[in-house]
Structure 1
Amino acid sequence: MKLKWANLQKLEEETILKIIMGQAPVDEFDKFVDTWKRTGGDEITEEVNQMSSR
């Protein structure tokens, strides 16, 4: 999680800001989700879920 979180957070912030500023269509969020999952987001979600179930 520590290794991937900073990159994923930056990707999220940039994508949302572009959508809000009108520089990207709302559909860009779907691309963001796909990229987020492929670059470690699912792994982080699984890790968090494991930690919370202890």
Structure 2
Amino acid sequence: MADHASVRLAESFYEHLTAYQSTGVAHALHHAVSELRARHPDRPSLWASPVHIGP
């Protein structure tokens, strides 16, 4: 995963996590990855690797 994509993913993840605390970590990651995928649909190397494992 490229550095610039990692930074954007982290920023988006924490924005979603703080805005929608009740939906949880998995939803925040889902939304962050979805945004990154929408920006770069032809480059799965930028958005396909993040996964959530846990409750």
* TM-score using structure 2 length: 0.45
Structure with greater helix percent: 1
Higher Cα Rg, which structure: 1
TM-score (norm 1): 0.46
